[in-house]
Structure 1
Amino acid sequence: MPSAVFGLLARLGLDALATYPGQSIFPLAWVQAAGCFAMGGLLGLREPISEFYPELYIALTSGFCGSLTTFSSWQLDVFLAWSNKTTPGGYPRIWIYDIMDGLTRLLFTLAISLASLSFGYKITTETAPTLQRLVRKNKGPPSQLIHIIISTISVLIYALTIPMYFVLSPSFRTKATAALLFSFPGAFLRYFLSVRLNKLHATIPPGTLVANTLGCFLLAAFHVLERSSSGRISGTSCAILVGLSDGFCGCLTTVSTYAAELRTLPRWKAWRYGLLSIVLGQIAMVLVVGSAEWSEAVHESQTCTS
């Protein structure tokens, strides 16, 4: 619960920090790079962390890194670049530049994610033996009482997101507080799918694939609803839609786990899994966002406001 909350906050914060006039690179690149770097570092420390507190390793990898990175937003970003919809009205450019923009967002994100994962792993593998010796010198894993205290605090942290939605300024709802409400359900569903489905196939992790594909379809639907040309929606509905997009879909889908799985698979199997995930993500965007745009059911310039 707290890992999903803090992972989402880190994603929203990095995205806001990297969004400014004259930015050199699209903001999601920073998000994916940071999350994959953290995931790589944690993979290098898997043994000492799991020996000390297994739940902590799951919380940091599936919870924090999985919620910090987002596969669905990446796929939507790529589709909007290919269709010249990244800004209202689009850019005055020819079609070949649309293709280049889409490929830049697609290939650079994939490259920086895999590179950041390997970099983080390389750094922490050098320190893993030292941390393992420190763990073994101490008394061992936390006691049952510590487990109960940590679990209680974790539940309280997530429970606080409900009053925060109502107490804080309404202007924060589309920025963060609405998304916080849906962070844990999205992260938990992804973890549940991974535990249940990934063991069914060794070379194509079905759980991660289903989570990422489902998240892409849902994000595409929410994106269309936010920009419906049928009329303005209420502020509360807008906040909920943005919260579902950033919180539920953002935490349901992940690039850090996707990159970690690509790194461990044999080369041609990694290519197959990687391409299949991207193709399914783009199919979701074409079927939902593309069909709505071509039928003029949405306008990119008509974004709902809280």
Structure 2
Amino acid sequence: MPATALAPLYLVVGDEELLIDRAVAELVALARGEDPQVDVHDLLPAQVTAGSLSEVLSPSLFGERRVVVLRSAQDLTKDPAAAVTGILTTPVDDVTLVLVHAGGNKGKALLQAAASAGAKRVNCPKPTKNQEKLAFVKGEFDRAGRAVTRDGAQAILDARGTDLREIAAACAQLSADAEGTINAETVARYYTGRAEASGFTVADHAVEGKLGDALETLRWSLAIGTAPVLINSALASAIRGLAVVSQPQRGLGDAELAKRARVPPWKLRTLRQQARGWTPAGITRALELVAETDAQVKGAGADPSYALERAVSGIVTARRDPAAV
């Protein structure tokens, strides 16, 4: 990530949402360090047209600094993609354009055009190997000025599965609450004492149909400062896991099934028990609920806490009677 003057064009490439969000946030912070009044436009493909691009990228009469972030650039349709490509070769003074691209074959022409235009590239690959995930955990503690042992890092991965946001949240909480070097004993002690406040426990209660326990744990989790987006991420993870284990599994071993469910192998037994009583229609409705709630907790709704309570209640209802949600 650059530590000097902001460049006119950046290419943030990868498929890991957390790392992409951090890269974009660091670029915006750099811009605000140069000009606290910088105007930031963060656009999704559906918001991008030739007209909207012209508006946000045209030269300013008053010389205001702007950062324009185009998310999921690989999903731009033909005309907007062509408009962006045309802009790449004619940078506008006082405007920094940040293209976020998944890096695959889809929209590859735009990726290549940005590279040819001299874009500074920031890679955000998803950690897939265990060694890469351990390195991520160590990096999180390094950022916080804390030390973690290898067994401590592995214990966090075992407890938090594969969701990078959940792993990052666990590292942040341990950095703030635990003393000394973080090791496996520290992790075990921490989660034994606070399991009732985790987003995963909220999710477990919800998918098991325990409405009272789920709402009580949700309110406690919010009260101690757990981010709503992390709680909804845990709900989504639980429902996705149910969807995987409830499907026919001909020829699939537990390792492959766990990979598809994005959980450690030991979690499969719990998921199979939780899937009893769920119907395909109920799982589909629950997936719709967490998708709707994702937008609500990320700014589309006025009250993330209410949105989460509604999601938890809806998930419990979907388990009993999908048509009633």
Normalising by structure 1, we get a TM-score of 0.27
Of Structure 1 and Structure 2, the greater helix share is in 1
Higher relative contact order (CA 8 A, sep 6+): 1
